[in-house]
Structure 1
């Protein structure tokens, strides 16, 4: 029997490190393209203010990138430390994109970032501009490969299980690379990063305007970020819809849980605008629905049904019974590698082996599972519906708020009225954390919603953990939390210090009717 407490702590440790790491990644993605756009304008116009903009935002990019690398390295080591059986089981497939991501992050990106910071006086303008764009593309290609790896966990294609090695092995590497789930996750995730970078630039620029500092610098920065952010925020919604559509094909249980849809409804299904899911009763104690909307959005048709949670549990029972057959055949193959009948049976049923492994939570001899065991295992396929339901709505609500935010910012910039309305600057400043909130709850929807699978339908999460003790995990988790919290504090300190210092060679302060922010908000000498 597996120690669920150890598995839960392993999950908590990976979740903590992943969510810390993803505080830095979106800003890296967003700022990389914004500084490339700013330097492009500098090269085309020759105006020094655009060079100073590139240097200032590039400095903040560099600080953030260093923290992202420091926190990302630890995540990759955890696959071997906390999830050793996972690494054994799918290392042949998962390891390839992970290795490529590492090469791009540490060799391609690091090289060009060094040239970006130290090549200003050594490279011609166009040459340095090319380096800046390569930094941006390198950061995004790095994200591509890690999301290919993650997308395979959501939709495992291009692999087969080898009963002789007891591992998943690649059968079609192109299918892994061009996995539609991975591609949709990539464009959705990087677009969210562009939104985060744009909000960051607007918020910091708003702070400068509220303090009456670096006025022209701030207005130009806000104009670029407003335009880029509007396009990015619109693409997040469109690409998020594509991700949801693919999930209705590959992760039906996740979609049903996100919508708290317990029973299959006649097509097109209604969407629950507000609901209070009851896991014990497998129903909603209260809900407000909009007719037809979920069916239209989720299936893009008026006739296709979306299965409910209860119906998907019944489907899981069928797969569990099939998984028992696959597991029994696998044991026969391990006892006699020349058993042709067992190999033929396993070849027909191996895709449901993961469902059979769910029974290990309830009894070690899954060949002798009872109907009660099968029912209990099938119920394990239901994720935490209330968490998913509300996390998804927070993400979507913030997404639509940010679209409105960028529409107003873009309209104001197009009319050359940036900074005229102080309440708008305050809204911009207070909106700074919202993209990160949306991104983190989006991560919860994507990863928490996949439970109980570490690889959808292939390997249960509890089966993938290392044989560590609770003490081992408690110590390492405490170390990680202290280390990552320290890094986050260092990041904030360095960022605030660089922002207080402001861009070099800034123009004189232009009074805006008095300082609105109190001096204590960011202590430090005024930059003139």
Structure 2
């Protein structure tokens, strides 16, 4: 096989997925912040909250459109660039994607128009319901996507069918309530809520620094501070739940994140700092927090966290058992009624995927040498320094956001909206939650390599029959297209922020709309 095709296919999907994920977190978080703001408007009947909701809804709409456009492109790649992957696991993977399109996406698309154009046609409560349905649709969309992705990380509720030679669903309930998918969903949406909170707080701080639209800015900052504090705490707590899920389902990813080469006596310590080396297969200059990793990953003082070397030995054993399953499967292809081969396959079917790792080195895994088997076992180890540092930067940002929002909440409750160093900081850190989210996404996907489906299908076997030239052409095309869309998105967002909110002009301020509803004036300071 041509590994250049594999790596370029991975690069293209990574670029499109990471670009799409620039829009997803803001959509997830801003949608529910709109619900909060509009709920305050419905409860208080104060016109300024209607103005606030409509202003942030305009920014939500710009982001929403780009998110939909880039998401569709990414889904098409499963057919164009990952054809064998789609054939092999499409029975399972396709179901959540189809439900996402039929239920969540249509739910969003149906109500988003009513949200933007129904302000003067619906009652206050009816419009609030519409806004809630948009937020629900956005988050349901994320749920079904993460159910699909969670299955890739922990392929439950499915089995290999020797008649069709592909994976098929046996228990959709298990797929739906996959513990890895559930942990990923709550962690991802909480990160989206943090992203939206930082965005709203940062834009509000920018207005306050310039003395513009201060009534909107102060109220928006108060909502963002409270919502952001709750969300940032949720991210850290639910990140702990994700670590617990790794202990049971992705032991190698957890060991790589911690650069834990050897199994330690329970409870293992958490490495705060170290310099891991793939060449030397050790971590130098370690600084550890005693017992912390054992408590986080096993919820006990006696649970063991397995090290990389021991996991490699376990992988080698599974590869050898997988070769037996592969041999039995080849015999079943010749004679489907071979009962001996079927019994042998059923005994070792769980390890079939590990034998497929050998196809990177030999066409027939049954001919692999001991050295090739050992090499394939070490292929199970992702790039340890990359996963190690990605996690620490991401976790560090997570704890930073807790402190930042706690301070923002204190200032907001004390009505201290003139602390200029804090306002400047709020503007400067706007990009940070996007950086943390992208780090988290790369960590989740890069950390499970070499698997497209953990323990089932190696990534290098899932590609389509494409050429290097075709892949470079599409990569360049997508880069240019998405670069242009990024410029348009940023210009539209900045233009909307500079223009600020619009309210019906009145003679007495922000309280009552003009009789015609057509006049507009800048929102007053208070």
Counterpart in the other structure of 2:477: 479
Q: Quote the Cα distance in structure 2 between the aligned partners of 1:479 and 1:527.
A: 43
Deviation at 1:432, TM superposition (A): 0.3
Counterpart in the other structure of 2:38: 39
Counterpart in the other structure of 1:452: 450
Q: Quote the Cα distance in structure 2 between the aligned partners of 1:218 and 1:271.
A: 41
Counterpart in the other structure of 2:312: 313
Q: Quote the Cα distance in structure 2 between the aligned partners of 1:336 and 1:505.
A: 76
Counterpart in the other structure of 1:517: none
Counterpart in the other structure of 1:62: 61
Q: Is 1:178 equivalent to 2:167 in the alignment?
A: no
Aligned residue for 2:503, secondary structure, equals coil
Aligned residue for 1:130, secondary structure, equals helix
Deviations 1:294-323 (A, max 9, x none): 112111111111111111000000000011
Counterpart in the other structure of 2:323: 324
Counterpart in the other structure of 2:127: 128
Deviation at 1:105, TM superposition (A): 4.5
Q: Quote the Cα distance in structure 2 between the aligned partners of 1:212 and 1:105.
A: 40
Deviation at 1:290, TM superposition (A): 2.1
Q: Quote the Cα distance in structure 1 between the aligned partners of 2:146 and 2:290.
A: 34
Indicate how the Cα distance of structure 1 residues 437 and 103 shifts in structure 2: closer, same or farther if over 3 A, else same. Answer: same
Aligned residue for 1:454, secondary structure, equals strand
Deviation at 1:106, TM superposition (A): 3.6
Q: Quote the Cα distance in structure 2 between the aligned partners of 1:231 and 1:144.
A: 20
Counterpart in the other structure of 1:515: none
Counterpart in the other structure of 2:75: 76
Counterpart in the other structure of 2:151: 152
Q: Quote the Cα distance in structure 1 between the aligned partners of 2:129 and 2:397.
A: 35
Q: Quote the Cα distance in structure 2 between the aligned partners of 1:5 and 1:258.
A: 27
Counterpart in the other structure of 1:433: 431
Aligned residue for 1:213, secondary structure, equals coil
Deviation at 1:453, TM superposition (A): 0.3
Counterpart in the other structure of 2:8: 9
Q: Quote the Cα distance in structure 2 between the aligned partners of 1:106 and 1:281.
A: 48
Deviations 1:141-187 (A, max 9, x none): 11100000000000000001001111100000010001111011001
Q: Quote the Cα distance in structure 1 between the aligned partners of 2:105 and 2:406.
A: 37
Aligned residue for 2:448, secondary structure, equals coil
CA contact (8 A) 1:162 1:169 kept: yes
CA contact (8 A) 1:214 1:507 kept: no
Counterpart in the other structure of 2:26: 27
Aligned residue for 1:281, secondary structure, equals coil
CA contact (8 A) 2:105 2:138 kept: no
Q: How does 1:151-300 map to 2 (within 5 A)?
A: 151-300=150-299
Counterpart in the other structure of 2:491: 493
Counterpart in the other structure of 2:519: none
Q: Quote the Cα distance in structure 2 between the aligned partners of 1:99 and 1:499.
A: 36
TM-score (normalised: structure 1): 0.95
Q: Quote the Cα distance in structure 1 between the aligned partners of 2:301 and 2:503.
A: 61
CA contact (8 A) 1:214 1:506 kept: no
Deviation at 1:507, TM superposition (A): 9.7
Aligned residue for 2:363, secondary structure, equals coil
Aligned CA RMSD, in angstroms, stands at 1.4
Indicate how the Cα distance of structure 1 residues 172 and 271 shifts in structure 2: closer, same or farther if over 3 A, else same. Answer: same
Aligned length: 510
Counterpart in the other structure of 1:409: 408
Deviation at 1:279, TM superposition (A): 0.5
Aligned residue for 1:289, secondary structure, equals strand
Q: Quote the Cα distance in structure 1 between the aligned partners of 2:290 and 2:25.
A: 35
Indicate how the Cα distance of structure 1 residues 103 and 447 shifts in structure 2: closer, same or farther if over 3 A, else same. Answer: same
Aligned residue for 1:89, secondary structure, equals helix
Tell me which stretches of 4 or more aligned residues in structure 1 moved more than 4 Å: none
Deviations 1:389-413 (A, max 9, x none): 0000010000000000100001111
Indicate how the Cα distance of structure 1 residues 507 and 263 shifts in structure 2: closer, same or farther if over 3 A, else same. Answer: farther
CA contact (8 A) 1:83 1:464 kept: yes
Q: Quote the Cα distance in structure 1 between the aligned partners of 2:523 and 2:468.
A: 52
TM-score (normalised: structure 2): 0.95
Q: Quote the Cα distance in structure 2 between the aligned partners of 1:250 and 1:120.
A: 48
Indicate how the Cα distance of structure 1 residues 428 and 506 shifts in structure 2: closer, same or farther if over 3 A, else same. Answer: farther
